[in-house]
């Protein structure tokens, strides 16, 4: 993690780009468990999230939730429409990481541009965004599924163009877990913070005098 070496002057930052999964929210999708299928979570984990040939094409827009339900119907005694309905209901109530969420709200209120760029599935756009009113917090929301593009470095410039007002890498900060995306963002001339926990994120903001 390179966070300790980042020198940022908050006044220089005009835009904050947030990741969703394990940054803005670390909660699980598909939390509604059908009473008749107690193995629901285990089956989804094994046959969706542990299968790169399933989850990555889903996030790239090559599969839809109906396709996923078709796969799950081989292992769960439910018809495809019932699986889709249950999966969607399981994304209606998600918890957010308070420090990141409150930081996003504060930056929006302070007049900075805010963007949410996520590698995600169709259920994010269809269910998560409207149920959690994310458009009220973020000026731009880009999901890899909607753009049929799994690489976020192709989406960040789209966010900049959508935001206007001379927004670019040099005056933008990415908040994202993992190593790869923050490293890419820095190489392209931007600032990036690798999120791990709310406590460390809050400590980092305090060290910069960021309010």
Record the tokens describing residue 111, joined without a space: 């007049």
pLDDT tier for residue 3 given thresholds of 50, 70 and 90: confident
Q: What is the pLDDT of residues 184-208, one digit of tens each?
A: 999 999 999 999 999 999 999 999 9
Task: Identify the residue whose tokens are 């670390």.
Answer: 26
Predicted pLDDT at 5: 62
Query: In total, how many domains does the chain have?
Result: 2
Predicted pLDDT at 7: 76
Range 74-89 average pLDDT: 96
Same domain? For 85 and 97 the reply is no
CATH number at residue 171: 3.40.50.1000
Q: What is the pLDDT of residues 96-119, one digit of tens each?
A: 999 999 999 999 999 999 999 999
Produce one character per residue of 141-176: b if its CB has 16 or more CB atoms within 10 Å, e if not. bbbbbeeebbebeebbeebbeebeeebbbebbbbbb
Q: State which residues form the domain around 159.
A: 3-27+93-208
Cα–Cα distances (Å) from 193 to 62, 103, 115, 146, 178, in that order, read 30, 13, 15, 25, 10
Q: What is the pLDDT of residues 132-152, one digit of tens each?
A: 999 999 999 999 999 999 999
Considering the domain boundaries, does residue 118 fall inside one?
yes
Whether 182 shows a pLDDT value over 70: the answer reads yes
Considering the domain boundaries, does residue 35 fall inside one?
no
Q: What is the pLDDT of residues 28-80, one digit of tens each?
A: 999 999 998 999 999 999 999 999 899 999 999 999 999 999 999 999 999 99
Predicted pLDDT at 4: 61
Considering the domain boundaries, does residue 149 fall inside one?
yes
């Amino acid at each position: 993690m390179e966070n300790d070496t980042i020198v940022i002057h908050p006044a220089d930052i005009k835009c904050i780009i947030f990741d969703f999964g394990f940054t803005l929210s670390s909660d699980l999708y598909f939390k509604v468990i059908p009473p008749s299928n107690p193995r629901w979570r285990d089956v989804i984990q094994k046959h969706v999230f542990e299968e790169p040939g399933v989850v990555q094409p889903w996030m790239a827009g090559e599969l839809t939730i109906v396709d996923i339900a078709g796969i799950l119907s081989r292992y769960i005694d439910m018809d495809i429409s019932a699986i889709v309905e249950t999966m969607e209901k399981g994304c209606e109530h998600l918890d957010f990481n308070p420090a990141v969420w409150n930081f996003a709200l504060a930056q929006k209120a302070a007049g900075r541009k805010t963007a949410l760029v996520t590698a995600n599935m169709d259920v994010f756009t269809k269910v998560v965004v409207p149920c959690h009113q994310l458009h009220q917090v973020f000026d731009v929301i880009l999901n890899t599924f909607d753009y049929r593009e799994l690489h976020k470095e192709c989406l960040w410039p789209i966010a900049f163009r959508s935001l206007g007002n001379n927004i670019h890498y040099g005056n933008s900060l990415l908040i994202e877990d993992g190593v790869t995306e923050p490293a890419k963002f820095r190489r392209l001339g931007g600032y990036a913070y690798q999120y791990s926990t709310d406590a460390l994120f809050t400590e980092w903001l305090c060290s910069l005098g960021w309010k």
